[in-house]
Amino acid sequence: MFLKSISLLNYKNITELQYQFDPKINSFVGKNGIGKTNILDAIYHLAYGKSYFTPLSSQNIKHGEDFFVINGVFEKEEKEEKVVCSLKKGQKKTIKRNGKIYEKLSEHIGFIPLVIISPSDADLITDGSETRRKFVDSVISILDSSYLNELIYYQKTLAQRNALLKYFALNHVFDADNLAVYDEPLAAVGLKIFTKRQQFLANFIPIFQKHHKIITDKAEEVQLRYESQLFDKPLKDLLKINLTKDRALQYSSVGIHKDDLSFEIDGFPIKKYGSQGQQKSFLIALKLAQFEFIKEKSGVLPLLLFDDIFDKLDEFRVQKIVSMVNNDVFGQIFITDTHEERTESIIKSTHQSYAIFKL
C-alpha cells in the first residue's frame, strides 16, 4: 500500500498544495515553521480521521477560512482508493472513501495502517497515563474493530456512572441500586479490554525489545510493564470496595481507565534516569515495534512518517535506522528535515527511489 498523491486546501498554515509521491521515500525539507510537519499531519488525518498534533478539529482550519479539505489517492492491493477528509465550521467532520461517506468515523480506522514518529512522542514519557493508554488503544484498534467499540461503550458507561455520582453529591441523596446498574456492564466490558491489553503487550514487548537492541547495539536493558488495578481484583469488586471514595470524589476512581505503562531503562524509570538520547531511542524502538506489529497482524506494510527523526540522534543510531530502510523493512516512508544535504545523503545511501520536496 502507498499514497500516490495528496491535495490540501486551507489546512493549518497551508492555503493550497498538491503533491505526487514516490512509492518508496519522500522527504520534505525546509526551515522550521514552514509547514513540513503539517503535511505529515494531513497524511495522518487521512488514516485516523484526526490530527496527531491538534486535539480540536476546528483548529486545523486555516486562520480566516471556514473549512479544510484533505484529498488522498492510495493504492492498496492493486486498487486505487480515494479518501477525502473535510470539515466546515459548525458542522460535523466527514470522511469519504471512493465517494461514500462513513456513517461513523470509527469505521475508517484500520483501513490505512500508518505509524508516525515525532519529537512530540516525548509526551509518552513525560505526560500522564492517559497518553500511554491511548498509544496502546490506538495500536489494538487498528487491528480489532470490536476493541474500539468496547472502548467507546466503556467510556460512555463510565461517563453515565460519574454523572450519577455527581448528581447524588449535588442533591445530597444516594441510591446504591441505581448506581449498581452501571457496575455490571462496566466490569464486563472492562474485563474484555483488560484481557486484550494483556494479550497485546505479551506479543508487543518482545518486538519492542528487539528493535531497541538493534538501535542501541544492546547498550541498555529496557522494559515495558503493564500496570492495572484489575491484576489485584475483578473490577466489580473494586467498584464496591471504593464506593465510599467514589462518592466523595464524585467520579469512578478504579477501572481500566486508570491503566498505565511503566517505561524502564536498566530497571529505573526512563523519565527520571534516561538521557535525552536514551529516551529518544526508547521512543523510536516503541514506534518501530508498532510498525512491525501492525505489519505482521494485518499483512500490510503501514505508511511510516518520520518527523525530524534525525534530530538529537547520534550518527550510530541514525545509521541503524537507515539500514532498516536499506533492508526493505519499510514500505513507503515520509521524512521531514531542516538539512537538505544531510537528508539527500542519507536517502541516497538506501539505493531506493525517492522524491524530495523543498518548502
Read off the pLDDT of each residue in 103-126 and give the average, rounded to a whole number.
92
Is position 118 within any domain?
no
Same-domain status, 79 and 8: yes
C-alpha cell at 22: 514516490
- Quick: pLDDT tens for 254-287: 999 999 999 999 999 999 999 988 998 899 999 9
351: pLDDT strictly greater than 70: yes
How many Å from the N-terminal Cα to the C-terminal Cα in the chain? 26
Cα–Cα distance for residue pair 206/296, rounded to 1 Å: 14
Same-domain status, 162 and 109: no
Amino acid identity, position 8: L
Cα–Cα distance for residue pair 71/18, rounded to 1 Å: 9
Is position 123 within any domain?
no
Of the candidates 277, 299, 321, which is a domain's last residue?
299
233: pLDDT strictly greater than 80: yes
| 3-class secondary structure per residue, the chain | CEEEEEEEEEECCEEEEEEECCCCEEEEECCCCCCHHHHHHHHHHHHHCCCCCCCCHHHHECCCCCEEEEEEEEEECCEEEEEEEEEECCCCCEEEECCEECCCHHHHCCCCCEEEECHHHHHHHHCCHHHHHHHHHHHHHHHCHHHHHHHHHHHHHHHHHHHHHHHHHHHCCCCHHHHHHHHHHHHHHHHHHHHHHHHHHHHHHHHHHHHHHHHHCCCCCEEEEEECHHHCCCHHHHHHHCHHHHHHHCCCCCCHHHCEEEEEECCEEHHHHCCHHHHHHHHHHHHHHHHHHHHHHHCCCCEEEEECCCCCCCHHHHHHHHHHHHCCCCCCEEEEECCHHHHHHHHHCCCCCEEEEEC
Same-domain status, 285 and 338: no
Half-sphere exposure of 283 (CA within 13 A, CB side): 28
Is position 121 within any domain?
no
Of the candidates 283, 299, 315, which is a domain's last residue?
299
Give the domain extent around 356: 1-113+300-359
C-alpha cell at 51: 490530527
**Which stretch, 25-29, 108-112, 160-164, has highest mean pLDDT?**
160-164
Of the candidates 247, 281, 299, which is a domain's last residue?
299
Say how many C-beta atoms besides its own lie within 10 A of residue 259's C-beta: 22
- Quick: pLDDT tens for 172-199: 999 999 999 999 999 999 999 999 999 9
Half-sphere exposure of 127 (CA within 13 A, CB side): 12
CA 132 centroid distance within chain: 10
Is position 135 within any domain?
yes
Amino acid identity, position 140: I
Read off the pLDDT of each residue in 20-46 and give the average, rounded to a whole number.
93
Same-domain status, 288 and 308: no
Same-domain status, 309 and 333: yes
CATH code at position 342:
3.40.50.300
Read off the pLDDT of each residue in 83-110 and give the average, rounded to a whole number.
93
50: pLDDT strictly greater than 80: yes
Domains in the chain: how many in total? 2
Dihedral sign for Cα 319, 325, 330, 333, please.
positive
Q: Look up the pTM and report it.
A: 0.90
Cα–Cα distance for residue pair 19/282, rounded to 1 Å: 33
Are 272 and 113 in contact by the 8 Å Cβ rule? The answer is no
Same-domain status, 204 and 74: no
Which burial class, exposed, middle or buried, applies to 318 when counting CB atoms under 10 A from its CB (0-12, 13-18, 19+)? middle
Cα–Cα distance for residue pair 156/185, rounded to 1 Å: 11
- Quick: pLDDT tens for 299-315: 889 999 999 877 756 66
| Least confident range of 7-21, 42-56, 334-348 | 334-348
Is position 119 within any domain?
no
pLDDT of residue 81: 97
